[in-house]
Amino acid sequence: MRQILFFCLLSTSAFSQSGMPGVFSSARDVGSPALKGSAEFSEGQYRVTGAGANIWAKQDQFQFVWREMSENFTVTATMRFLGQGAEHRKAGIMVRQSLDTDATYADVVIHGNGMPGLQWRSKPGEDTNAFDFPFDGPGTFTIKLVRTGVRIFMYMAKSGNQLKEIAHTEVSFQNPVLVGLAVCSHQADASDTVIFSDVSVEAEAPLKPKSP
Amino acid sequence: MRKLLFITLLAISALAQAGKFGSFTNSDDVGASVLKGAADFDSSTGNYKVTGSGTDIWGKSDQFHYVWREMSGNFAVSAKAKFLTDGLTHRKAVIMLRKSLEPDSPFIHLAIHADGTPAVQFRNTKADNTNTVDFPVEGPGVWRLKLVRQNTTITVWIAKGNEPLRELGHTSTQLGSPVLVGLGVSSHSQAATNTVLFSDVSVEQLQTPAPTRR
């Protein structure tokens, strides 16, 4: 039997922190978007506003709400865009090596038009790789990112349906990594606001050494 | 104008193909596995029996058997793949686009692993690491694979058994034209070969959309 022990230390710490957003420790813009982003945590929801050209190609601009983590973990969130915006504005859960604009990353995102994507930059300054999945329009989505070694798994459900595994990719990070929520407007002169609710961050306990 | 003519010629030649390898023109081992691969085309059934050896199509360099033809522009390739021999879980059958026959060439493929894991895998630049998107395992069986290139967009479909084709999604590639298009088989081991039967193979040149006026 696989001995995996999940502990939710983070959901309790959400209420012991004041000022900074919930289970995460910090919020800031990555890549200096022309418009400043922001993040608020209240009544169990994250209201994240981000601008920026894109999270794409060789460098990124977006608002990032994050905490540091090591080893394996699972992050889940339910998200919806507020108001109108660019078709390819995007929001989701990101694992990132650093706050550098061209850092190695992997994310599971939903675009403004409802298109889900799994994206990653394998090395700093490289082009982003992406795989986009079939979709049927915008809405409220629950997304889940699981890191297991080099594997980054994506799960997704639309409008309260059962979470389903979609796919996984492989990205090599060094520990620790930054884990959090990302919002990008896909245009320099506009911001987008996304409400993230039911956010959970679970760390997998270190595996006990195998008995001989 | 010159480009248009070129495309038209290709479309004609695609229909006129009826060589040793049917829709394809060549059959080669890529990389140097210990065991040799082979391809048999049965013109009466249109089936291809492709035997490949090799460590994998993965990492920075590949070993597999490749049945291919050169194509440019937009096209659609589909085939049914059935593993005929036993072997390792991650032996694979693929529809591939490849820049060259060099083992570390850029490529993209839609793969079905023997255990029924579909995957889209690609190497962006020569000798770079392979990227992967693995989909949930659905178990072994006969699989239909379809890959379409429209400009830089690669869209893939898959179906197990007699299920209808379903779209897995899309990604983009900078492979350009011309590109080597074909069927690949790797055994995931230099000490083994893997034989795959490809049936209902279709290679179709698609019209290149007219450039939009700006």
Write out chain A's pLDDT in tens, 212 residues.
343 434 444 443 444 344 556 899 999 999 999 999 999 999 999 999 999 999 999 999 999 999 999 999 999 999 999 999 999 999 999 999 999 999 999 999 999 999 999 999 999 999 999 999 999 999 999 999 999 999 999 999 999 899 999 999 999 999 999 999 999 999 999 999 999 999 999 998 654 554 44
Nearest chain B residue to A118 by CA distance is B133
A42-46, B47-51, B92-96: the lowest-pLDDT one: A42-46
Q: CA of A191, closest CA in chain B: separation in Å?
A: 27
**Which H or E element spans position B11?**
helix B2-16
Q: Which residues of B touch A169 (CB under 8 A)?
A: 131-134
Burial of A151 (0-12, 13-18, 19+ CB in 10 A): middle
B169 interfaces chain A, CB cutoff of 8 Å: yes
> Nearest CA to A149 among A67, A77, A205, A70?
A70
Record: contact B168-A133, CB cut-off 8 A: yes
Q: Which residues of A touch B120 (CB under 8 A)?
A: 131
CATH architecture of the domain formed by A23-204: Sandwich (2.60)
Residue A97 CA to residue A104 CA, distance in Å, equals 6
Burial of A12 (0-12, 13-18, 19+ CB in 10 A): exposed
Residue B199 CA to residue B45 CA, distance in Å, equals 8
For residue B128, pLDDT beyond 80: yes
Nearest chain A residue to B135 by CA distance is A167
B133 interfaces chain A, CB cutoff of 8 Å: yes
DSSP state of A176: S
Residue A142 CA to residue B158 CA, distance in Å, equals 25
CA distances from B46 to A34, A88, B43, B65, B201 (A): 58, 43, 5, 19, 7
Q: Mind listing the domains of chain B with CATH numbers?
A: 2-206 (2.60.120.200)
Contact B201, B81 (CB under 8 A): no
pLDDT value of residue A205: 64
Residue A111, amino acid: H
pLDDT value of residue A117: 98
B135 interfaces chain A, CB cutoff of 8 Å: yes
**Residue range B100-124, pLDDT digits in tens:** 999 999 999 999 999 999 999 999 9
Q: How many CB atoms sit inside 10 A of residue B63's CB?
A: 25
Contact A121, A105 (CB under 8 A): yes
- Looking up tokens 């996984």 gives A168
**Which H or E element spans position A15?**
helix A9-16
Contact B94, B109 (CB under 8 A): yes
Contact B133, B91 (CB under 8 A): no
pLDDT value of residue A2: 41
Residue A36, both tokens: 């400043």
Per-chain mean pLDDT for chain B: 91
Nearest chain A residue to B129 by CA distance is A122
Nearest chain A residue to B132 by CA distance is A169
Contact A13, A21 (CB under 8 A): no
ipTM: 0.88
Which residue from A118, A122, A167 is facing B129, i.e. has the nearest CB?
Answer: A122
pLDDT value of residue A115: 98
Mean pLDDT of B19-31: 93
Q: How confident is the model at residue B212 (pLDDT cuts 50, 70, 90)?
A: low
pLDDT value of residue A160: 83
Which residue from B134, B169, B172 is facing A168, i.e. has the nearest CB?
Answer: B134
Q: How confident is the model at residue B19 (pLDDT cuts 50, 70, 90)?
A: low
Q: Which residues of A touch B133 (CB under 8 A)?
A: 118, 131, 167-169
Q: CA of A149, closest CA in chain B: separation in Å?
A: 15
**Residue range B57-69, pLDDT digits in tens:** 999 999 999 999 9
Residue B38 CA to residue B41 CA, distance in Å, equals 10
Domain ranges of chain A: 23-204
Residues of A with CB under 8 A from a CB of B: 118, 120, 122, 127, 129-134, 165-170
Q: pTM, whole model, 2 decimals?
A: 0.89
Mutate to test the interface with A, among B107, B130, B133, B173 (most CBs of A within 10 A): B133
